[in-house]
A and B are shown apart, each in its own frame.
Chain A
Amino acid sequence: MVTKTEESQLKNLEIQVDNGGGGAWEFLSLVRKLKVRRSDKVLKHGLSILNDPKQRSTLGSEEWTLYEQVAVAAMDCQSLDVAQDCTKALRKRFPESKRVGRLEAMLLEAKGSWDMAEKAYTSLLEDNPLDQIIHKRRVAMAKAQGNISGAIEWLNKYLEIFMADHDAWRELAEIYLSLQMYKQAAFCYEEVILAQPTVPLYHLAYADVLYTLGGLENLQTAKKYYASTIDLTGGKNTRALFGVCLCTSAIAQLTKGKNKEDKEGSQLHSLAAKALEKDYKQRAPDKLPQLTTALKSLTLSS
């Protein structure tokens, strides 16, 4: 997680570096620490440090870390020549290293020679079957090839061991979503929520899945999760507000005639509608008519 202060620090440094104010190394270190994706900037500034022998020598042993960082960034930007040079330099310095081996495999992957990359990863895994990064690379590779079911298979295998890795669960949930396998996705989102119960985005995603699944029970649950999203975000999440409205109208449709526990729910619904209207008035007044018609159609159908 990137905190607000770190984010602003990163932004300041980025602007400073972009305008030639120095501090490139600090910027690169921060990018590495926060694990953010700024490949183009990393490539540009990292390379300029690496190409300057004087600057490079002041880094000491950190030089090799920089080589690795630049190599990965270069792969991300498809500057394969640069990536190749960096990897070669690293290989020369660390002839036996597995970490360089991983980098080489990633280079193969970036070039699109899937088979060779696969072979390289497999041999690396034989040496250390618990290397999380390589497991994840494999999933990413399957996904990049469009082999979604393969990706699911790898990811499940990975999760069998590293089952507390909630990022992997989220990835799996998103893959399942893309295949419209909502039940499985719901399970994955439950897992993510368990790991981080107070992140509203996961509640929202879970509610979306439940709403899509449909059925009275799921809809009611979905509405509750939309409500929790509203609570956790302080009512600022438009999607959750819409979700509450949609859920209410769908529930009303399903329970038409029975009409028992509708009363207290309808208050949340109308409140959400009002909040939406207020929000639209403030930020997009020209879209307001569309909103009112949409909301009207929802209430009409109920």
Chain B
Amino acid sequence: MAEDLVLDTAIRDWVLIPLSVVMVLIGVLRYFVSKLMRSSQTPDAKIVREGQVMLRARNLRAGANFIPSKAFRARKIYYCNEENGLLFVPKGQAQNPQAQMFSDPNMAMDMMKKNLSMIIPQTLTFAWVNFFFSGFVAAKIPFPLTQRFRSMLQNGIDLSTVDVSYVSSRSWYFLNLFGLRGLFSLILGEENAVDDTQRMMQMGGGFGFDPSKGLSVEKDNLDITQHDWALPNFEQRAEDVLKKVIS
């Protein structure tokens, strides 16, 4: 069964290479289109402030032992008190991001743009590949593989007798779709690579995080932070240092 299937060179010239070239070109085109559509979003003052509050509270937690206990206590109260502490989030005011998204049409718009720039070209190219190139055996990998790779490499060919190392055209399309990231980062610069896989991941796992939740977590952390002033130890250490200097 494994006798060689001879692949027509025309398949290489008219399926394999065009498919790859088209995938690259579409990737580049998509990058520029999404760059055009990207609206420069101005961050909301409240969100920026919350981020900064969290950063400062984290600093306080990390460096608590380096300031006198009076100063620490004052700050702790300032952050954590139940009336107007910086980290205190009144109940009910904690918006969930879903609701926020609906209340802010801009945000929804942005999401849609992002998704559109991803989904439309993908469905189009997939349809195009399906229409023109379905059913080709486009390439052969030079090493044998186990049966489990069949669904990955021979998508679109329903023949269980073909050796697994042959790659169907549709599978070639998928390989290109996910494997061209390195090439894009070469062409378009490091950060600009169109990263489909990552975006899909983002799509799956909820939108962003909830700042108010972060605040209350930080508040709890700060509440249980014990203050243990580190400075008295420093006197001893300074003495040791000086003894070394003098000797």
Q: Which residues of A are in contact with B by a Cβ distance under 8 Å?
A: 128-130, 160-165, 187, 190-191, 193-195, 197, 221, 223-225, 227-228, 230-231, 234-235, 244, 265, 267-268, 271-272, 274-275, 278
Contact = CB atoms under 8 A, between A and B. Distances in A.
Nearest 9 CB-CB pairings of A with B: A164-B55, A227-B238, A228-B234, A271-B242, A224-B231, A235-B245, A194-B63, A197-B63, A230-B238
A194 B45 contact: no
B139 interface: no
Given A130-B42, A164-B59, A193-B67, A275 B242 contact: yes
A230 B55 CA distance: 29
A130 B45 contact: yes
Contacts of B246: 271, 274-275, 278
Interface string B52-83: 11011001101110111001000000000000
A164 B239 CA distance: 34
Contacts of B8: none
12 contacts: A130-B48, A161-B52, A191-B56, A193-B63, A194-B59, A194-B62, A227-B238, A228-B234, A231-B234, A235-B245, A271-B246, A272-B242
Contacts of A162: 48, 52
What DSSP secondary structure best describes chain B's contact surface? Answer: helix
B243 to A, nearest CB: 6
A161 B53 CA distance: 8
A230 B241 contact: yes
A18 to B, nearest CB: 34
A227 B235 contact: yes
B237 interface: yes
Of B42, B43, B45, B63, the most chain A CB neighbours within 10 A belong to B63
Contact of B242 (A163, A197, A235): A235
B235 A224 contact: yes
A163 B53 contact: yes
Contacts, number: 92
A182 B217 CA distance: 34
A271 B239 contact: yes
A231 B49 contact: no
- Among B42, B43, B234, the one with the most A-chain Cβ atoms within 10 Å of its Cβ is B234
Contacts of A190: 67-68, 71
B144 interface: no
Interface residues of B, number: 31
A195 B63 contact: yes
Interface in B23-60: 42-43, 45, 48-49, 52-53, 55-56, 59-60
A235 B245 CA distance: 7
Most buried by A among B43, B66, B246: B66
A274 B242 contact: yes
Given A164-B56, A227-B235, A130 B242 contact: no
Contacts of A191: 56
Contacts of A128: 42
Contacts of B64: 194
Contacts of B245: 234-235, 275, 278
Contacts of B231: 221, 224-225, 227-228
B105 interface: no
Given A130-B48, A193-B66, A230-B242, 18 more contacts: A129-B45, A161-B48, A161-B52, A163-B53, A190-B67, A194-B67, A227-B231, A227-B238, A228-B234, A228-B238, A230-B241, A235-B244, A268-B238, A268-B239, A271-B239, A271-B242, A278-B245, A278-B246
Nearest to A210: B68
A130 B43 contact: yes
Interface string B172-195: 000000000000000000000000
Contact of A195 (B45, B59, B239): B59
Contact of A197 (B48, B66, B241): B66
Contacts of A223: 235
A194 B227 CA distance: 13
B53 to A, nearest CB: 7
A231 B238 contact: yes
